[in-house]
Amino acid sequence: MFTKIYKLVLLLITVALITSNVSQAQTVKKSMVAVYPAFSIAIGGGAQFPVGILGETYKSSFNAGIDFNLKVNKETSLFLNATYYDMPRKPEAVLGPDASIIAITAGPRYVFSSANVKAKFFLEAGIGAYIFAVKDYTTTTTPAITTLGTSKANVGANVGPGAVLPLSDSMDLLIKSKLHYIFTEGGSSSFISAFIGLDFKL
């Protein structure tokens, strides 16, 4: 699983470097004035790492998602993110079904920028729905018993840092890491995610 994740990351970085070199070779000096609001869409993936109670049952795996960003001014943006997190069950855990989480969250993003640094660093926090889905499961006993999958939505929140690396006038490289909290009855579940993707300016 991690081999596939590493290949995806290497592919995105390779595409980013090629695009960056082509863009720099074709760049013509010109003055540009930032126009707000500015809209962009990022598509990518990465890895997730369950911690706490969630980490006792499920192991690390991949995530894939899409990120919509509306830049209001130089320092402030609003984001809407939809991401799928794969949650395979640990081999040493009690036998049972694999699971997944679909998170749809939104919130503000504060950007730290400098005229001397091309990369822009940011901190964002979001809140929204986390849909925890348990897949169908068939026991290995005789006779076999099949349990149908279920899903439940809970409110959750996330926070974390990130960076935007400019590649061209129309595309950036987006990198971010977040800590997620899912509020459940009698407690909470949490996991850490890492995401890398290409951010297309519209």
User: Which pLDDT score is estimated for 114?
Assistant: 79
Report all structural domains of the chain as residue ranges with CATH numbers, in order of start. 2-26+35-201 (2.40.160.20)
pTM score: 0.81
Which secondary-structure segment (H or E) carries 52? helix 52-57
By CB atoms closer than 10 A (0-12, 13-18, 19+), residue 108 is middle
In the chain (202 residues long), the average pLDDT of successive 10-residue segments reads 49 49 41 76 97 93 97 94 96 86 97 85 97 86 80 96 94 97 90 97 90
